[in-house]
Amino acid sequence: MKKLLISLAVVGVLVGLMAAPVMAEDVGEVGKTASVTVNAYKSVTVTDNGSPGLDFGSLTPGTEDEPEAASPSLTIAAAVENNGNVAVSIKGTDFSDGGSNSFDIENATWNTSDETGSDQDMLETYAPVGTLPASTSLSIYHWLSIPGGQAAASYTSTFTYKTE
């Protein structure tokens, strides 16, 4: 009986010694991957400070830098819930009467201040305007020139503000 007990004790110690390193690895620190998706919120409001749409009135050919009816023309605001900055850029389409008459979009200009000296031409491709963190806003001023000899008609364009 004594021999049996001693044998079992030896066996127990042997198994314990061999299993201990493996057990230690299993009960040690284990890295678990945690994942979560945070939705991207982006809300931008363009306030049209004058009458709806950008209004330059009735102009004569050769007019230069006629300001839009409202000053500033637009106010672009990023909402409080945005969880990232909003990059604002701007582009426009050529002015057209829907028929054969048109003039280049470069005759329209923009600025974030009311100074025409540093205004920039509108382009058919996006040009950067600025970056808006949440709860901030910027103002946009617009001017329009009419080429000399431009045919009399009602011209329209579309100004697109990319807010991403």
Partner 1 sequence: MKKICLFALAALLLLALPLPAYADEPAKYNFASAQGDKELTVTPGGEVRGDLYFYNIDGNRITHLNLEVGQAPDNWEVAVEPPLSETQVLISGLPVTVAENLYVEPWELLSEEPQTVPEGMVSIKVPGRGYTLGKLAQVVIRVPESVALGSTGEITIAAEASWLGQTGAAAVKQARDFEFTVTVVSESEEFTEVIVGEDGSGTVSTNGATQAAVARWWPALIGGAAAAIIAGVVVSRRRAAKKRALR
Q: What residues line the site for partner 1 (CB under 8 A)? A: 3-4, 7-8, 10-12, 14-15, 17-19, 22, 25, 37, 39-56, 69, 74, 77, 79-81, 83, 92, 95, 108, 142, 144, 154-164
Nearer to partner 1, 49 or 136 (CB): 49
Nearer to partner 1, 141 or 159 (CB): 159
Nearer to partner 1, 46 or 127 (CB): 46
Find the shortest distance in angstroms from Cβ 141 to partner 1: 13
Cis amide leading into 72 (omega within 30): yes
Find the shortest distance in angstroms from Cβ 137 to partner 1: 11
Tokens 């829907």 belong to residue: 98
Find the shortest distance in angstroms from Cβ 142 to partner 1: 8
Find the shortest distance in angstroms from Cβ 21 to partner 1: 8
Per the CB < 8 A criterion, the answer to whether 50 and 68 are in contact is: yes
Find the shortest distance in angstroms from Cβ 32 to partner 1: 12
Per the CB < 8 A criterion, the answer to whether 79 and 96 are in contact is: no
Residues written for the chain: 164
Nearer to partner 1, 81 or 114 (CB): 81
Rg of the Cα atoms in the chain: 34
| 156/96 Cα distance (integer angstroms) | 6
- Cβ atoms within 10 A of the Cβ of 65, count? 12
- Cβ atoms within 10 A of the Cβ of 74, count? 21
